[in-house]
Amino acid sequence: MKTSEELKKIVQQKYSEIAKQENTSCCGSDCEIPEGYTIMSDDYSQMKGYAAEADLGLGCGLPTQFAKIKKGDTVIDLGSGAGNDCFIARSETGATGKVIGIDFTEAMIQKARLNVEKLDFNNVEFRQGDIDNMPVSDVIADVIVSNCVLNLVPNKEKVIQEIYRTLKPGGHFSISDIVLVGDLPEALKTDAEMYAGCVAGAIQKEQYLNYIKISGFQNITIQKEKTISIPDTILDRYLNASQKEAFKNSATGIFSITVFAEKPAITPLKSVNHSLKIQSSCCGSSNATSCC
């Protein structure tokens, strides 16, 4: 099993390579997939503020669509890449707001800064740093967004604690991420490429939501949920025929979820109430076949 620092270096190297490419559609993995097919990413192109040169196809949802951003808000985007979600958030905050993108890959920061210069925005900035130790002050953000990034960080609980630290009382987040129900085959879990590709780094859905709960957030809501199917062209690289068949027939599910939660307006003085009620939209229900 690789250490946290080794995993971070793998991700950093892979995303540095991606930053120098035109486009990818397989999170961070080096996928061979049919032309026009995307495993995880949703279509941003119709959203206000969309900048094609900043869209590298690395997401697994549309968190900014659900983030309830208002004019004048300060927004932080975790794992900001080339700046796509930041520019869409900026269209919501307007000129009176502020958007901060954080990414730990230098090549991505450089690409995002070039993009913001082209767009001539003076209220969008990009900072290099780890999202489990954000280079921002306490209680600075009204809203935090992130798109398919927490699964790339070994210490996900620490990231969620950092989100709590940096949000203002009453602030909230909307985050899209990959989670699991059931266990992945060992070959997928241990492969570095699949970790950089957002799958092997995913944790159990229940554990993910529990990290949010125990950090003190309230009104936790699954805003959207969709099933992720890994194409045979990728599975064939890791599994033999019998293993692939067993995986497909197993109860293991890979999902993209967009989660919303609020930091209490008044921080409790005593221990946090850990009772959790997940309010799920129709996209997360077992009998919803087409709403997403």
Return the closest-CA partner of residue 49 out of 113, 102, 81, 95. 95
* Integer Cα distance of 285 and 242 in angstroms: 30
The predicted structure's pLDDT at residue 62: 93
* Residue 270 clears pLDDT 50, i.e. is over it: no
Task: Name the least confident of 7-21, 208-222, 224-238, 268-282.
Answer: 268-282
Proportion of the chain above pLDDT 70, given as a percent: 82
* Residue 246 clears pLDDT 60, i.e. is over it: yes
156-159 long-range contacts, Cβ below 8 Å, gap at least 24? Answer: 156/203, 156/208, 156/211, 157/211, 157/215, 158/132, 158/133, 159/78, 159/131, 159/132
pLDDT tens digits for range 75-108 = 999 999 999 999 999 999 999 999 999 999 999 9
Give me the residue spans of the domains in the chain: 4-284
Phi/psi of residue 138, each to 5°?
-65, 155
* Integer Cα distance of 106 and 235 in angstroms: 31
Read off the pLDDT band of 48 (50, 70, 90). very high
Read off the pLDDT band of 179 (50, 70, 90). very high
DSSP state of 208: H
The predicted structure's pLDDT at residue 190: 77
Q: From residue 252, give the alpha-carbon distance in Å to each of 130, 209, 216, 245, 264.
A: 30, 18, 29, 12, 34
Read off the pLDDT band of 27 (50, 70, 90). low
Q: Mean pLDDT over residues 218-241, rounded?
A: 91
**C-beta of residue 41 within 8 angstroms of C-beta of residue 84:** no
Beta-sheet pairing, 203-204 with 218-227: unpaired
> What CATH superfamily is the domain 4-284?
Vaccinia Virus protein VP39 (3.40.50.150)
Q: Mean pLDDT over residues 238-263, rounded?
A: 93
* Residue 39 clears pLDDT 70, i.e. is over it: no
Mean of the per-residue pLDDT values of the chain: 85
3-state SS, residue 175: strand
The predicted structure's pLDDT at residue 282: 44
What are 117's two structure tokens?
Answer: 């210069």
What are 224's two structure tokens?
Answer: 């959207």
The predicted structure's pLDDT at residue 166: 98
* Integer Cα distance of 48 and 125 in angstroms: 19
